[in-house]
Structure 1
């Protein structure tokens, strides 16, 4: 139970949590930031509740993130969810590498500039393969290390909250709550424009979703759980703990600095905020060390997850059988080697990015949406057609409906240059899907008539994205 909660919390409280003050305050005042967290908290609660209810109602669907989609909507949709979720975990680990190297730059100025210079790429690559070998030792060893790391990384976050809780000016929290006096502004096409209240609420939404990615971690590893009844409890408890920490980390800094000051703090912004509050460099160092511990532990949790998804998909026929192979320690060996290779390629591409951290977390946050929306739609569909056999049918139905609506809201609130990458990245998995269907030799066509319709829609969207890119209407 404790290890499962640690997986959930460890997956969510990665390196991104140390950048929340600046990321959420970039163009939003304390009021809109609070509203954004409440909306995200309610939305993700329904998503987490779907995973909790389904883990109890359908324990036969192990590694549920992928299996729910296949059970409810067929092989092709199931494959795309597994493929997208897998890429999300790979890109998320690369985001960890970027922010980790940026934290190291605090102790070695100029050596790891922006987390994506040559030294950063080399050190990040070494860590990718180091975690590869650690997870190959088996989930029991990796799970123990992750549990210890999760508790260790909570210490600096708790200290940050306690210090700010004692030392900030609470009257400042009530100053310019809604960002209207003075009005928060931004630059668009070299012109200064006011940021509306709705825009302030929408701006942090992708950040909030990125922060909650991992709430399904216990479900992904449900096949490894000693007691499957613990999976749902761990999911809900981990979610509540993370939401509480996120809100404190985002709101309390407004009592120490103005929105404009917070928006300009270098990431990891908790370090700059604490240094400002305690008037000493030790505040910066404390949070930088905390970030390093947090990322190292979170990276391990996500390496375990990104190996598990292709292995489970290989066992159930959505991925080629080769991905299901394990070593003597019961670790997903082939899946892990392929995952590490994908991460290595993405790490090399990071070198050419102007804002590597921002790019990686935005892509990762959106690549998880297909997994969330198919899970919520699956439980809603099961309730409506009478196949749901779990407890709280009414709660399950409303969780599915409201969770799926929240997923659509996240897509609406996200930046278009990242949204358009989702169908392109999904299409890259077609050869793998065809490979898995060809080797099955079950006498069925590679694509059913309904799946051909899905494929046609996907290709039409791809064509529209390419034309928009060529015409300059969208820039990446």
Structure 2
């Protein structure tokens, strides 16, 4: 049956998909990059960090591109790939982790907005004062009810927000190029008084969760794949959008070292520098914004709210990214959807393997703190999975899934000690708060 004119109008063009990826990836993180990197590393560490992150995320972009082409029947993005590759519970956990990560990313964005206003109106402070939380709540629910009214107003707001993000970044890059001081680049090169491989390695590791955070949204075109006019546009949009944002991220970070010393970058306060909706899922919208509101209220009690939200976002989305990469590797290994002797199978397998190793490496680099904290959220989310299975009168867990849930459950008690763990292992958070 031919699609209706309304359905055709709702389809996304290639340029719209690219804009969706760019708009999804460019968020609050990029505006915090100069100070965030300046606190922990120098020019060399920054270059190495972006090479690692850029390579790993590019491979992940290729995986999304491959899966969109090899499995066009899977049009729900991250959730669909994890479920197809590893079963119902893993698929559900991937969807839950991704959703919670997006909620936390919105919290980080709200904190940053209020921290920015706090530069001019002290009552908003660092974005976690009572006034900041109240105004952030008003903003959250204002957008909520705008979306409930329909897609037209939401789409217009998204367009305005995208321009509001991109224009200041381009202005920053232009000004930075004009005032760049090569001597400062040299002075900031090693990021330490006594250069050593061990020091640079430690610096690079300290940036890893931050680099993951600023790439969240790379899956934007895949998530909305069902609305693409042409399935081949999904992979193109993912890779093109990623490379565009990577250029912005690298320029914003490196040019900062040519304007201020590391000590001056460290002293900067935060900040130091959207999706397309075709239908309005009312229930999901209410649930999502209620969760965001709860997280916003919690920031009142969190001493390092912005950094905590930032790193928790990275921790929660790394697991879904790992599952996507692993599914791509599994698909290439088994040869499903490939012809015999097809060279693309080897190429896709290599890209998927690198993306999988990168995701595992990022989880390791992030340390146990945020992985333990994320286990609480995964355990709580499992309750919804339990209810859904019971409602359908299905067996809740398969044997392998039961083992996975048992591991998550065992991690929860350890995570309850997170305040003491945080104070010992996250020196960056202490430094962030001091400034």
Give the TM-score of the pair, scaled to structure 1: 0.81
Does residue 1:376 correspond to 2:379, yes or no? no
- Find the counterpart in structure 1 of residue 264 from structure 2: 261
Counterpart contact for 2:27–2:165, Cα < 8 Å = no
CA-to-aligned-CA distance 1:23-68 (integer Å, 9 cap, x gap) = 1111211110111011100011011111111112212111211100
Counterpart contact for 1:7–1:147, Cα < 8 Å = no
Counterpart contact for 1:65–1:371, Cα < 8 Å = yes
The number of equivalent residue pairs is 408
CA shift for structure 1 position 90 = 0.8
CA distance in 1, matches of 2:410, 2:237: 40
CA-to-aligned-CA distance 1:84-136 (integer Å, 9 cap, x gap) = 1110111111111100001111232x120110111111111111112212333
Q: 1:179 to 1:131 in 2, by over 3 A?
A: same
CA shift for structure 1 position 473 = 5.5
1:169-318 aligned within 5 A: 169-180=181-192, 182-183=193-194, 196-270=199-273, 300-301=274-275
Pick from 449, 456, 463: which aligns with 2:406?
456
CA distance in 1, matches of 2:21, 2:153: 17
- Find the counterpart in structure 1 of residue 147 from structure 2: 135
Counterpart contact for 1:7–1:146, Cα < 8 Å = no
Does residue 1:82 correspond to 2:85, yes or no? no
Instruction: Choose 381-390 or 51-60, whichever is displaced more.
Output: 381-390
1:314-463 aligned within 5 A: 330-389=279-338, 392-441=344-393, 444-463=394-413
CA distance in 1, matches of 2:346, 2:160: 38
Pick from 115, 118, 130: which aligns with 1:118?
130
Q: Considering only aligned residues, what root-mean-square deviation do their CA atoms show, in Å?
A: 2.2
CA distance in 1, matches of 2:57, 2:47: 15
Say which SS state the counterpart of residue 191 (structure 2) adopts: coil
1:61-100 aligned within 5 A: 61-100=74-113
CA shift for structure 1 position 183 = 3.6
Counterpart contact for 2:17–2:234, Cα < 8 Å = yes
CA distance in 2, matches of 1:230, 1:133: 32
Counterpart contact for 1:132–1:340, Cα < 8 Å = yes
CA distance in 2, matches of 1:352, 1:69: 35
CA shift for structure 1 position 268 = 1.2
Q: 1:164 to 1:139 in 2, by over 3 A?
A: same
CA-to-aligned-CA distance 1:251-310 (integer Å, 9 cap, x gap) = 01111111122112112112xxxxxxxxxxxxxxxxxxxxxxxxxxxxx43xx6xxx8xx
Say which SS state the counterpart of residue 394 (structure 1) adopts: helix
CA distance in 1, matches of 2:148, 2:346: 42
CA shift for structure 1 position 148 = 4.3
- Find the counterpart in structure 2 of residue 12 from structure 1: 25
What 5-or-longer segments of structure 2 have no aligned partner? 1-13, 425-435
CA distance in 2, matches of 1:91, 1:179: 30
Instruction: Provide runs of 4+ in structure 1 moved above 6 Å.
Output: none
CA distance in 1, matches of 2:258, 2:115: 26
- Find the counterpart in structure 1 of residue 117 from structure 2: 104
CA distance in 2, matches of 1:387, 1:23: 43
Counterpart contact for 2:126–2:270, Cα < 8 Å = no
CA distance in 1, matches of 2:69, 2:152: 23
CA shift for structure 1 position 195 = 7.7
CA distance in 2, matches of 1:148, 1:98: 20
Give the TM-score of the pair, scaled to structure 2: 0.88
CA distance in 2, matches of 1:234, 1:473: 40
CA-to-aligned-CA distance 1:411-469 (integer Å, 9 cap, x gap) = 1211432221111210011210011111223xx41111221122222222334444x65
CA distance in 1, matches of 2:183, 2:45: 17
Say which SS state the counterpart of residue 336 (structure 2) adopts: coil
CA distance in 2, matches of 1:62, 1:141: 26
Say which SS state the counterpart of residue 126 (structure 2) adopts: helix
CA distance in 2, matches of 1:463, 1:359: 20
CA distance in 1, matches of 2:319, 2:191: 33
Say which SS state the counterpart of residue 123 (structure 2) adopts: coil
CA distance in 2, matches of 1:167, 1:474: 39
Counterpart contact for 2:222–2:234, Cα < 8 Å = yes
CA-to-aligned-CA distance 1:210-235 (integer Å, 9 cap, x gap) = 00000101111112223322211111
Does residue 1:163 correspond to 2:145, yes or no? no
